[in-house]
Structure formats: structure tokens, C-alpha cells
Amino acid sequence: MLIYLSVAIGGAFGAMARFWVSQWFAKTFPSEIAYGTLLVNVVGSFLIGIVFVLITERIEVQAYYKPMLMTGFLGAFTTFSTFSLESLTHIMAGQYIHALAYITLSLLLCISATFLGITITRFF
């Protein structure tokens, strides 16, 4: 039962953090492309690489920490459904270049960020 509670708590904090970062970024750097979502997805991808190495290779933690951090917090912090909706919204509006740029940047940066997080954490 503790694992489910830890996922719920992590998810609540992750969702609030995503909402705050996305809103702040949209107000600070207005754009037709949803860079706030891109930012949380890249940062979340980087962090999941770090957390993965720390929890599976470096630090022995209670069983509930991994699902709390990875599934709960980072799962709620990053968002594939919003990425999908924003990509489709650009396509439906005929903004094919924006859609292509957003999809390409998201995939390349998120996968690179995860790789970087894993590599840096394993190095140190």
C-alpha cells in the first residue's frame, strides 16, 4: 500500500511542478510552439536518467522510492499526452513546420537528455 501512496504523492508534486514550469515559461517566453512542455520533457528525461542510475546502481533505497520518483514525480512532470496534443494542434492548424520542429526537437532532446543524465551520473 505504501508504494501506491508514494506514487500518488510523487505524481501530485510532479504534476504541480509541470504546471508551474509550463505556465511560467509560457508567460516569460511567449511562442506559438509549446516550449514549456518541451522544457519539462527534456529536464524530466535528464532527471530520469540520473535517478535510474542512482537507484539501480549507486544507492540502496526503500522499494517505494523508485516508483515514487520515476513513475510518480517524473511520470507526472513529463507528459506525452500534452506533447501529442500540441503536435496535433499544430498539424490541424496547418502549421506543419512548427509541428515538425516541435516533434523533432522533443524526440532528439529528450532521448539525448536521458543519455546525458545516465552518462554523467555513471561518470561521477
- Could you tell me the pLDDT band of residue 104, with boundaries at 50, 70 and 90? very high
Summarize pLDDT for 60-97 with one digit per residue, the tens. Answer: 999 999 999 999 999 999 999 999 999 999 999 999 99
Q: Rg of the chain's alpha carbons, rounded to an integer?
A: 16
Q: Where do the domains of the chain lie?
A: 2-123
Q: Is 75 annotated as a binding residue?
A: yes
What does the pLDDT read at residue 64?
A: 92
What does the pLDDT read at residue 32?
A: 86
Distance CA 46, CA 116 (A): 7
Distance CA 41, CA 60 (A): 27
Pure H helices in 31-95: 35-53, 65-66, 75-77, 80-92
Residues belonging to the chain: 124
Q: Is 14 annotated as a binding residue?
A: no
Global pTM? 0.90
Summarize pLDDT for 28-70 with one digit per residue, the tens. Answer: 999 988 899 999 999 999 999 999 999 999 999 999 999 999 9
